[in-house]
Amino acid sequence: MRALRARGDLEAELAAARGRITALEAELAQRDSRDPLAGSLLTLRAFRAQLELDVRRAQRYRRPLSIALLDIDGFKAVNADGGYAAGDEVLAEVGAAIERHTRAHDLACRTGGDEFALLLAETASGEAWGAMGRLLRELEDVQVGAVRGVSASIGVADLSVAVTTEGLLAAAREGLEAARVAGGGRVAECPGIDGTDLVTPGQTDVVSALVSALQERDRYTGDHSESVVDVAGRVAESLAVGPAEVERIRTAALLHDIGKVGVPDEILHKPGPLNDQEWEVMREHPAIGERILRAIPGMGQVAKIVRHEHERWDGSGYPDGISGEQIPLGSRIILACDAYHAMTSNRPYRDAMSHTDAVAELSRHAGSQFDPEVGQALVGYLYGRRQSGLAAI
């Protein structure tokens, strides 16, 4: 009996050991198939193996399938400015965002460095464009240490442009390169079969056209926006903002009132103060401006700044009532610069305020309407200009 019990105990221990070995093997297999930085995503090897199967299945049953390749814009600068640890954090956040934008039957992996690949099953290229556009907008909200918003270039291709896995990846790669060349921050397909490029050209001419349209609609608003541009850029520089972000802020400052093209003339050109109902209409212009700019490839981050340039530090602004550092820094800068210029400009219903009184208003409303740090930087810049004998704005 003792021998039988001992044998039973040994068999139980052996079964438990086999169970632990099986669990360890499963864990090792899981680790081998998952990216070490973006743990929710597959490794390239696991992705390629499943990709071959899914492409063949889609071809066999004539089902739609799309591939997207995503590359983070300016990633070398992230590593240079914040170190490799900051770069790894950004990669992990991008991986998490990709996971949120994929379904159970989709696949995603990091192909290496700062590039990611996605397989979107049962998805034609038009749907893939929409999904990748939503992903780009989410990446604009990523915050990791000093990194505020991530821009990416994305190339998309579907089975209509290639019949092999390699051909599909090559077509997506062409789209990615086209998106990069066009300035990044956008989704693109490979050039068309007839040689026509499906990517919207550079933004400079578009921005100039929008500024001209704004000036034609309302001369004061157009001139006011141009006056705010340089000071907004200078304030951003004094806050140690990087060159690319400074340029985005300058562009947003130039176009921050573009939504006023959608405001009726009787409100836009009213010579006196607006009533409550008219103010409700006027408050729609930041959201209108965002919609206009979102339609331009690569202008997503500028559109976000424009949408929030009337938000207040204490959360009592519009259109979304966000507060503090939830408001994009560019929006906070433009709000303060915009307010100073408006206060020191003559309007049909009031005279301009003096520089001294306008600065006092900026200081009085720091911490409620204005970001205190931005207000301090603006006052410092204005003081420096006056010390040099230059006009404030």
pLDDT for 318 equals 94
Q: In this structure, which amino acid lies at residue 113?
A: G
pLDDT for 391 equals 55
DSSP assignment of 297-352 equals: TT-HHHHHHHHTTT--TTS--SSS---GGGS-HHHHHHHHHHHHHHHTS-BTTBPP
Question: What are the structural domains, with CATH classification, of the chain?
Answer: 44-189 (3.30.70.270), 204-387 (1.10.3210.10)
Q: Decide: helix, strand or coil at residue 4.
A: helix
Please choose, from the candidates 301, 377, 23, the residue with its C-alpha nearest in 3D space to the C-alpha of residue 136.
Answer: 301
pLDDT for 332 equals 97
* Residue that is written with structure tokens 């990194």 in the block: 147
pLDDT for 194 equals 33
* Mean pLDDT in consecutive groups of 10 residues from the start of the chain, 393 residues: 68 64 45 58 89 88 91 89 87 92 90 92 86 90 85 89 79 89 82 38 64 69 69 92 84 90 86 88 93 79 91 95 94 95 77 89 95 95 74 56
pLDDT for 212 equals 76
Q: Which residues contact 231 (CB under 8 A, 6 or more apart)?
A: 337, 340, 341, 378, 381, 382, 392, 393
